[in-house]
Amino acid sequence: MTSATFTVATTEALVRLLRQGQERATALGRPVVVSLASPLSGDLSPLSVFATARRAGAYRMFWGRPKQDFWLAAAGNSVMLSADGNGCIADVEARRRCLMEDAIVQSPHRPGVGPIFLGGFRFDPRVPRDPMWASFPDALLVLPRILFAWSEGSAWLTINALASPGDDAVAQAKSLSGEIQALTAGTESPLRPPRVVHISETSPEVWGRWVRRGLDAIETGPVSKVVLARKKSLRAEGHFSSDGALRQLVHAYPECTVFCIDSGGASFLGATPETLARVDDGKLGLTCLAGSAARGSDPAEDHRLQDELLASPKERQEHEAVRAMLASNVKGLCTELRWDETPGVARLRNVQHLLTSFAGALRPGVGVLDVVHRLHPTPAVAGVPTGGALKLIAELEGDRGWYAAPVGWMDHSGGGEFAVAIRSALLLGDQAVLYAGAGIVAGSDPDREFQETELKFRPLLDALTGE
């Protein structure tokens, strides 16, 4: 595809839609969302669009599932919904629904096409915010001005705008046309990772104290499981590149969801193997991912480690706690819910996990954010029971920011997809802060759990340093 993709016909359709929006905005006395989707032809890379948006200085978000050949690249913002404090997920969802009730939408029903909101949430909004997460509110949903989507073998462009009384529809359309021309004219330019000059991290000694504290809490009864996370902070000679890191993650972890959200000069990105909830036409999909083992250096060792994982009482106990709570929490939202009788194994590049898949049918009017609100935080990233685990995490770790929280997208009918933001990092110029966690249950060994977190650091560590 070339920059000529934004055709005269598309421009004319956009002008008509904006004028309809102005008429409705005048009648209602408030701005109205208008959204126009059109198919694209030619060849355009999701990564190149995302990189070009950075050079344009626009808000941007990237979402990719390489194995399914599904990609979203968003630039600019027409509407930004944010909230802080308890109930922030329900707050932004209520405002989004209200906004979309009056919207004028010209779009087919296809995944990732139309007025898609993208964003995420903080892990625990009750914990005092760490200053490094200042650019990421407790809840953030953005309706981008321009959204490119690749799904089901085709590419789509969605244009979203806010129409107000007295706007100049022709000028608005011309401005949007210019933004699209710029985004589609860019190309990927290879960026060399900066040289890391300093690394600091949660030490084995501190980690050992944390794990022993968790084991004490398990023994005395406040919790039966707690998920603790370490940080690894990198300082470089130059700025870290989310564009370069994304490119490496896409190629190295095609089975994961690769994401990046820019907010206020900071970037949060990752390659997560865990989908929190996926909703399409009222159908719900969930995955339970808990219990871990390393990958082997050859097929024989790999199978041995897999068999040990499946047979491990400790890992099966951890997995079952997550599966049971997921089932309990979403049953009330569903007319039907099914899951695997026994867990399988999900193999990633350097680690493997026990996996249970869920499928269900949602009750009428229930959307993906209703499921997210009900599920977060799962036992896979917090613990059991949730309240006791969160209290211990806050006491030991402080603010996790958006690590291990939901990130994703949703459409105007309540469908969409949110993942758990693990295997992730926060980029702040020449600083990168990486996170990796491990589930602590009775019998956990601090040294073994430390090595598990080291394995989980590898995806982002390699992507940011170019190793």
Q: Which helix (H) or strand (E) holds 294?
A: strand 283-294
| Strand bridging mode 32-40 / 104-106 | parallel
Exposure string over 258-280, b if 16+ CB within 10 A, otherwise e: bbbbbbeebbbbbbbbbbbbbbe
With beta carbons less than 8 A apart as the criterion, state whether 381 and 227 touch.
yes
- Tell me the percentage of the chain whose pLDDT exceeds 90: 62
Of 144-148, 307-311, 347-351, 436-440, least confident by mean pLDDT is: 347-351
Exposure string over 126-161, b if 16+ CB within 10 A, otherwise e: ebebeeebebbbbbbbbbbbbbbbbbeeebbbbbbb
| Strand bridging mode 60-65 / 406-410 | unpaired
Q: Which of 201, 225, 318, 397 is catalytic?
A: 225
With beta carbons less than 8 A apart as the criterion, state whether 155 and 43 touch.
no
Count helices and strands in the chain by DSSP H and E runs: 11, 23
Distance CA 449, CA 439 (A): 8
| CATH number for the segment(s) 196-465 | 3.60.120.10
What is the per-residue pLDDT for 222?
A: 86
- At 170, list the tokens: 């022709």
Distance CA 18, CA 451 (A): 56
Q: What is the mean pLDDT of the chain?
A: 90
- At 138, list the tokens: 């407790």
Which residue is listed with tokens 């995944």?
111
Identify the CA nearest to 360 among candidates 269, 252, 281.
Answer: 281
Q: Which of 34-43, 302-311, 455-464 has the highest mean pLDDT?
A: 455-464
Q: Is the pLDDT of residue 45 over 50?
A: yes
Task: Tell me the average pLDDT across 215-240.
Answer: 94
Distance CA 425, CA 404 (A): 11
Which pLDDT band, with edges at 50, 70 and 90, does 451 fall under? very high
Distance CA 41, CA 39 (A): 7
Residue 467 known to be catalytic: no
Residue 283 known to be catalytic: no
Q: Is the pLDDT of residue 436 over 70?
A: yes
- At 391, list the tokens: 């209290």
Tell me phi and psi for residue 282, to 5 degrees: 80, 0
- At 7, list the tokens: 């055709």
Q: Which of 179, 274, 397, 452 is catalytic?
A: 274
In the chain, CATH 3.60.120.10 sits at 196-465
Given its phi and psi angles, is residue 264 left (phi above 0), alpha (psi -120 to 50 degrees) or beta? left
Distance CA 8, CA 243 (A): 32
Identify the CA nearest to 123 among candidates 214, 227, 199.
Answer: 227
Q: Which helix (H) or strand (E) holds 88?
A: helix 88-101
Measure Cα distances from 138 to 18, 126, 306, 391, 418 in Å.
Answer: 32, 9, 38, 18, 16
- Tell me the percentage of the chain whose pLDDT exceeds 70: 96
| 0.85 exceeded by pTM | yes
With beta carbons less than 8 A apart as the criterion, state whether 334 and 383 touch.
no
What is the per-residue pLDDT for 4?
A: 40
